Amino acid sequence: MQTTELSPLELLHKNNSSDFLPLKGTDHVEFYVGNAKQSAYYYQAGWGFELVAYAGPETGLKDRASYVLQQGKVWLVLTTSFDPESEISQHVRKHGDGVKALALWVDDAEKAFEATTSRGAVAVHPVKTIKDQWGEVKLASIKTYGETIHTFIERKNYTGAFLPGYQPKASAFKAESVGLQFIDHCVGNVGWGEMNTWVKFYEEVMGFKLLITFDDNDIGTEYTALMSKVVSNGNGYVKFPINEPAEGKKKSQIEEYIDFYGGAGVQHLALATDDIIKTVTELRKRGIEFLQVPETYYEDLLSRVGKIDEDIADLKRLNLLVDRDEEGYLLQLFSKPVEDRPTVFYEIIQRKGAKSFGKGNFKALFEAIEREQALRGTL
Ligand code: FE2
């Protein structure tokens, strides 16, 4: 029987036919840190990641060490340098532990580099091919906000643990997964008046589309404010909200981040789970700290979000946040910063149809952040 209807996959390909930067998803996120060995243990013991690969002096790398951690499709790389003058050490001195690279998985690194640099992206390094006994990987990098970079990774001819040069490595510590599945979105904080510059960068240079705009009326409390726009790539696998500070009676949380980070950078990674109650119960048991909303948040919750599957007592016990849009609802929770500097933190998110970002929770959430800022003396 003939049919003219396209399957969802064909539709996806058709919609992406004009996508000059097809992305298969986030490949990994690389942090530059002061002590990768200890950070790796934190992510295993606290967050349920598994150590899968390593590169360092024992594998022939003389000046640094990198630990690769995996949970579901989330891959984190923690890199530290032994040379105080290196770019890695300078990054850590200036920013503290923070995200250096948001690596994007592509079919063709050469094309990705060419497509973006020809549209104005600043090259960090052109395509290079690296090899070991498990095959080869092509990679190239471009700059984005602050000192953050995007690395395009083409790994179709590679079967090793992570990238050429890395050896498989297991830990004596058997970390049990907390159910984190993939990176839902990754948020950047940029300086005053820079949000639109970076939105334009993602639109024109990376071929992303503007999904949502929040102004300071959406995201303001009595005291502080910020503005945010969310951009997404063609297939929707990669979403980057970009925040900038807005004027309020007191200091914006984005301004606080920029003061402590020493410029623009990654603010949070949102990690998806399909059972947030189980995930957050486990994370709390392991000592991960989260922002706290007041009890009153739950008083009118059901009248705001309507019927939900979860037991409100569980939500209250774990201090989970809920929001609804036209397509469904979502549950989310935000960690406290995972460094002493109030910079990078994590969001745990479970989507039940909703494709939005929890706008209904902004006020309660930002008031929780303000209480933390007040404790730090930075409000
Ligand atoms: Fe988020």
Structural domains present in the chain: 19-168 (3.10.180.10), 180-376 (3.10.180.10)
Total residue length of the chain: 379
**What distance in angstroms lies between residue 230's CA and the mean position of ligand 1's atoms?**
10
Q: What is the pLDDT of residues 87-134, one digit of tens each?
A: 999 999 999 999 999 999 999 999 999 999 999 999 999 999 999 999
**What distance in angstroms lies between residue 184's CA and the mean position of ligand 1's atoms?**
8
Q: Is the pTM of this model over 0.75?
A: yes
List the one residue out of 68, 46, 43, 42 whose CA is nearest residue 56.
68
List the one residue out of 140, 161, 162, 159 whose CA is nearest residue 149.
140
**What distance in angstroms lies between residue 135's CA and the mean position of ligand 1's atoms?**
36
**What distance in angstroms lies between residue 260's CA and the mean position of ligand 1's atoms?**
20
**What distance in angstroms lies between residue 111's CA and the mean position of ligand 1's atoms?**
30
Cα(216)–Cα(228) distance, integer angstroms: 8
**What distance in angstroms lies between residue 291's CA and the mean position of ligand 1's atoms?**
13
**What distance in angstroms lies between residue 358's CA and the mean position of ligand 1's atoms?**
8
**What distance in angstroms lies between residue 363's CA and the mean position of ligand 1's atoms?**
14
pLDDT tens track of the chain, all 379 residues?
A: 444 455 555 555 555 557 999 999 999 999 999 999 999 999 999 999 999 999 999 999 999 999 999 999 999 999 999 999 999 999 999 999 999 999 999 999 999 999 999 999 999 999 999 999 999 999 999 999 999 999 999 999 999 999 999 999 999 998 899 999 999 999 999 999 999 999 999 999 999 999 989 887 777 677 778 899 999 999 999 999 999 998 888 888 899 999 999 999 999 999 999 999 999 999 999 999 999 988 889 988 999 899 999 999 999 999 999 999 999 999 999 999 999 999 999 999 999 999 988 888 888 888 888 889 999 998 8
**What distance in angstroms lies between residue 352's CA and the mean position of ligand 1's atoms?**
16
Question: Would you list the DSSP string of 357-379?
Answer: --GGGHHHHHHHHHHHHHHHT--
Residue 75 β-bridge partners: 70
Cα(109)–Cα(114) distance, integer angstroms: 8
Cα(59)–Cα(284) distance, integer angstroms: 36
**What distance in angstroms lies between residue 347's CA and the mean position of ligand 1's atoms?**
6
**What distance in angstroms lies between residue 323's CA and the mean position of ligand 1's atoms?**
13
**What distance in angstroms lies between residue 95's CA and the mean position of ligand 1's atoms?**
21
For the record, the structure tokens of 116 come out as 């973006």
The Cβ of residue 20 has, within 10 Å, a number of other Cβ atoms equal to 16
How big is the chain by its Cα radius of gyration, in Å? 21
